[in-house]
């Protein structure tokens, strides 16, 4: 069973892996996040939210073999930084479609998978959006830190989710975190590049 946890590259927890308390808690936390997200979502931001949901959907579809499992680009930090609280809704929809269309992860783990990716995204918004808005830090540095920290926190939360589901997942949890160190760096670099590109071609997107 520990090998199954790595089936879809760490960030998608497969069916039958998580314990019932972890599944229940994940859905409860995600329900709160999505509820707040929908409540704060403005009509003018629906298209922007849909676009970044699609970006997240596509980025996390590409899996690269690494060791006993595989990893993929995530970009949840980018989604959080440019959507704010709406990131919960965007990430939930993308993961739901991946589950239904491609069987990545599973419906039982959807709540945990969403929280593990959306919560770090939202935290990065609170940490870095004001710094970006006020030009307190170079945009490139904001982008790198956003990408690096969001993936780091997601990998950490996913590892914790596995450990809480059983001690026999401890080895897998460590492998998952270590396997995503390259992804943390790559995600940071790509997020920095994307932010610079957006600033040049459509800077209004940077405003939440």
Q: Which fold has domain 2-206?
A: Arp2/3 complex 21 kDa subunit ARPC3 (1.10.1760)
Environment class of 160 (CB within 10 Å of its CB; exposed 0-12, middle 13-18, buried 19+):
middle
**pLDDT (tens digit per residue) in 84-120:** 999 999 999 999 998 898 877 788 899 999 999 999 9
Q: What is the pLDDT of residue 70?
A: 59
End-to-end CA distance of the chain: 42
User: Model confidence over 114-138: pLDDT tens digits?
Assistant: 999 999 999 999 999 999 999 999 9
**Domain residue limits, the chain:** 2-206
Spatial contact of 94 and 57, defined as CB atoms under 8 Å apart: yes
């Amino acid at each position: 069973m520990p090998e199954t946890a790595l089936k879809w590259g760490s960030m998608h927890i497969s069916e039958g892996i998580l314990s019932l308390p972890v599944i229940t808690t994940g859905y409860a936390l995600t329900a709160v996040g999505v509820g707040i997200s929908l409540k704060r979502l403005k009509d003018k931001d629906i298209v922007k939210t849909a676009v970044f949901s699609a970006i997240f959907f596509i980025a996390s579809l590409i899996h690269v073999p690494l060791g006993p499992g595989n990893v993929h680009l995530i970009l949840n930090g980018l989604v959080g930084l440019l959507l704010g609280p709406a990131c919960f809704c965007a990430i939930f929809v993308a993961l739901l479609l991946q589950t239904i269309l491609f069987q990545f992860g599973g419906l039982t783990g959807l709540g945990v998978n969403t929280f593990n990716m959306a919560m770090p995204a939202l935290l990065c918004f609170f940490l870095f959006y004001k710094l970006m808005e006020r030009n307190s830090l170079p945009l490139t540095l904001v982008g790198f830190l956003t990408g690096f920290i969001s993936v780091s926190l997601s990998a950490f939360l996913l590892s914790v989710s596995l450990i809480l589901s059983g001690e026999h997942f401890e080895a897998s949890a460590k492998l998952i975190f270590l396997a995503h160190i390259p992804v943390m760096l790559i995600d940071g670099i790509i997020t920095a590049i994307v932010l610079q590109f957006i600033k040049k071609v459509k800077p209004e997107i940077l405003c939440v």
